[in-house]
Structure 1
Amino acid sequence: MNIRAVKEGKTEVLVPVHEEGVSFPPSAAPVFYNPAMELNRDISVAAISVFAKILSERRNIPVENIRYLDALAASGIRGLRIANEVGVHTTLNDWSEDAFELIERNIEYLGLHDRINASRKNANVLMHEERFNIVDIDPFGTPAPFLAAAARSAVHLLAVTATDTAPLCGAHLNSGIRKYSAVPLNNEYHAEMAVRILLGKIARELAARDRFMRPLLSHATRHYVRTYLEIGNGAKKADRMLEQVGYISHCPSCDFRETHAGIAVHIASECPRCSSETQLAGPLWLGKLHETDFCGDILKELEKTESGTKEQAKKIIELCRDELDIPVFYEQHLLCKRLGVSASGINELIDTLRSCGFAASRTHFSGTSFKTDAELDEIESIISMLR
């Protein structure tokens, strides 16, 4: 295996290099390394750093004693950066012998023997054997096979990446149903659908163990979904968490949508606005996706970093911080097309909604999406007024 040194943030690590002229899918590489996920890793380092400080202050745990697990480490670059830049005690695990050997070589290269433990185990076995303050699941594809073990192993924080956005957002419907025990809808807010389907699955896994979650940050970026969830214990709190799991009924004819909290609820199939047949998505997460203060602290942390994607990361976190806690967003251009009018600037639309007494915000999901507490009739009236 050929290797080369790359630098991300403050950390220089050894990563695999494909032989010139050899082409195969990333999943078939001896050790998986994806430079396009640097943005994901830059946000991860900042988010884990913020949470480690919170944990240290709340629980009186020295940062160096906080245990972090990268359960599917591959090249190990995420965990290596977190060990080096955050200072927590890190376990880097991968079943691949090539990955394990590269991780050990990077530990030697960075001189971090006292801070990193290399492990070569089945990820689920390791998570059932041990518990960690922070568990990070970042597989190639779906995290679904690892969520049950992760829900047991994570003591304080669970971070999850899902790159199987097609099943999560309904493009591969049957695959999404099998993996997440939920029905997604592939419509204009499919990116938010993916986030909420994933969170709904995790919430149910936690509840089965009398545990609960509080989403601190969840974002859909490019081809993946990423979430950071504060974890706690207690059957009653798990019950209250499940009250934020439910369904979304959507009318493809008029774009009406409505949320229904509860695992087993009666939902009419007829749209109350136009009497067309509605579509149903869920069970999924209906609660908050972000905590404002946590996002604000991440922004402060990003300002101090040397990350190569700093400005892009800051923009995502700023949008998440300011996003309304309302499921789900509207797509301005789709509404305008249905009304037969030209779209105004997205900021002008949001300012007008606010001036009319409604809450409104942009979202991180797309540049032309917005959230508001206005009813659809009111939204369409304001869009028509701005034509």
Structure 2
Amino acid sequence: MKTRTVIEGNTRVEVPLSEDSSGISSPSTVFYNPEMELNRDITVAATLAYALTISDEKGIPLSEIKYIDALSASGIRGLRVANETGINTTLNDWSNEAYEFILKNIEMNDLAERVIATRKNANVALHENKYHIVDLDPFGTPAPFLNAASSSTISFLEVTATDTAPLCGAHLKSGIRKYSSVPLNNEYHSEMGIRVLIGKIVREFASNDKAIYPVLSHATRHYLRIYAEVRRGAKRADRMMENMGFIENCQHCGFREPLYGLAVHSQYECPSCKSPMSIAGPLWLGSLHSRVFCNGVLEQIDALQLGKKDAAKKIITLCREELDIPMFYDQHVMCKQIGISAPGMDSLINKLLEKGFNASRTHFSGTSFKTNAPVNDIKQIMRSLD
């Protein structure tokens, strides 16, 4: 197999040589996607930020904090975590070919004393041992690995999902099968996907009497990424389940309303325009981000050697400032509904704030915003800016 050497951060790895200009190696061999460098940059910063928290609060040296990259492929994600944070790392992949790459890349980075390589089914690897930090970065859905992760995770969970079509409602039946939730494919489908994914994780962990507390969640290009603190206790898990529910949405005028609980009563007629309502869920209605954690991640992004530093800072800063409510509005969709040109986003946000509402941009897109203003008030304010 032809290979090439890739450098990310201050870590060098050997990966299969791609057969086209994308740089993406085939998933049938040892998958490597250069487009995920930003994801890995944020992973290194977020993992270090939380590892330092564990070290400070529990007095555990960084070298004794255990992290597993359960689906490692070439090993680049876990090797970067080991090399750039100093924590104890396990790299696992079921493929013999991937395992050989992992061993070679451990040696290339002189990390034999701090990195363990295993060749097992990811669920087996997770059920066999406990780790302070568990990272799931599969090719596709993380759903088959969540129960094992709930058994293995001591303190912190990191999950990537690249199957955005099922999560966001584009492949409805697949989403229902994998995530036991009915999503809506509308203008806020990216946030819908994040909340469906977190909802699935919350329920899996609750079955093992563990609660998860999302501290950073972002939708970037073709993937979703979740970071969550994990705590033991049935009562904590019960409290987190109280953040589960549904979103009731009017596809005609944009009205939406969260409905908390797993057994809810839907109003069949939109209270704003009298059109039929649609409902999505169950999904997570609680917080997506922690301001304190985002600040810690930004500190590490500044300190680390990262190839996508500016892009990473932009995403985390937007997440930190994002209004803590579901779901966002899309400015262009709303303007099309009422037949006006889109005003400047800053003008819209400032006008909403001036009127006494809460409002913010979001990381989801340049045309998305969040506000607690009723939908008719938003439209009235937009008309005043036209």
Shift of 1:372: 0.5
Does residue 12 (structure 1) correspond to residue 12 (structure 2)? The answer is yes
Corresponding residue SS for 2:185: coil
- Residue in structure 1 matched with residue 144 of structure 2 by the alignment: 145
- Partner Cα separation in structure 2 for residue 148 and residue 376 of structure 1: 39
User: For 1:192-341, what aligned pairs fall within 5 Å after superposition?
Assistant: 192-341=191-340
Letter in 1 for 2:187: E
State the AA in 1 paired with 2:367.
T
Match of 1:55 in 2: 54
Q: Indicate the residue corresponding to 1:118 in structure 2.
A: 117
Deviations along 1:21-73, one digit per CA (max 9) or x if unpaired, are 9x998322x10011110000000000001000000011111100000000000
Residues 53-132 of structure 1 mapped to structure 2, 5 A cutoff: 53-132=52-131
| Cα deviation digits, residues 153-196 of structure 1 (max 9, x gap) | 11100100000000000000000000000000000000000000
> What CA deviation, in whole Å up to 9, does each residue of 1:3-26 have, x standing for no partner?
2221111111212213579x9983
Deviation at 1:271? 1.4
Separation (CA, whole Å) in 1 of partners of 2:322 and 2:43: 20
Q: Is the 2:25–2:33 contact (alpha carbons within 8 Å) kept by the matching residues of 1? A: no
The one-letter code of the counterpart of 1:65 is E
Question: C-alpha offsets along residues 66-91 of structure 1, whole Å, 9 cap, x if unaligned?
Answer: 00000000010000000000011100
Q: In the alignment, residue 222 of structure 1 is paired with which amino acid?
A: R
- Whole-angstrom CA distance in 2 between matches of 1:173 and 1:19: 33
Partner AA of 1:321 in structure 2: R
Task: Please state how far the C-alpha of 1:383 moved relative to its aligned partner.
Answer: 0.4
Q: 297-306 or 325-334, which moves further after superposition?
A: 297-306
Q: Is the 8 A contact 1:2 1:19 kept in 2?
A: no
In 2, Cα distance between equivalents of 1:27 and 1:283: 32
Structure 2 vs 1, CA of residues 62 and 383 (structure 1 numbering), >3 Å: closer, same or farther?
same
The amino acid across from 2:5 in the alignment is: A
2:189 counterpart residue number: 190
After TM superposition, the score normalised by the length of structure 1 is 0.98
**Matches of 1:264 and 1:212, distance apart in 2:** 20
Match of 2:15, as an amino acid? Answer: V
Do 1:245 and 1:283's aligned partners in 2 also have CA atoms closer than 8 Å? yes
Q: How many residues align?
A: 386
Task: Confirm or deny: 8 A CA contact 2:181 2:283 kept in the other structure.
Answer: yes
* Paired AA for residue 12 in structure 1: R
CA distance in 2, matches of 1:379, 1:136: 40
Determine if contact 2:12/2:105 at 8 Å carries over to the other structure.
no
For 1:176-187, what aligned pairs fall within 5 Å after superposition? 176-187=175-186
2:36 partner letter: M
Letter in 1 for 2:13: V
Deviation readout 1:264-291 (Å, 9 max, x if unpaired): 1222222122221111100000000000
Q: Supply the distance in 2 between the matched residues of 1:267 and 1:235 (Cα, whole angstroms).
A: 29
Identity %: 58
Give the conservation status (yes or no) of the 8 Å contact 2:244–2:284. yes
Measure, in 2, the Cα distance between the counterparts of 1:234 and 1:298.
27
Matched residues in 2 for 1:368 and 1:13: separation?
Answer: 38
Encode CA deviations 1:283-322: one digit per residue, 9 max, x unaligned: 0000000000111111111111221111011100000000
Which whole-Å CA distance do the structure 2 matches of 1:275 and 1:173 have between them? Answer: 26
304-313 vs 71-80, greater mean Cα deviation: 304-313
Unmatched 5+ stretches in structure 2: none
Deviations 1:108-143 (A, max 9, x none): 111111100000000001111111000000000000
One-letter code of the match for 1:59?
Answer: K
| 2:351 counterpart letter in structure 1 | T
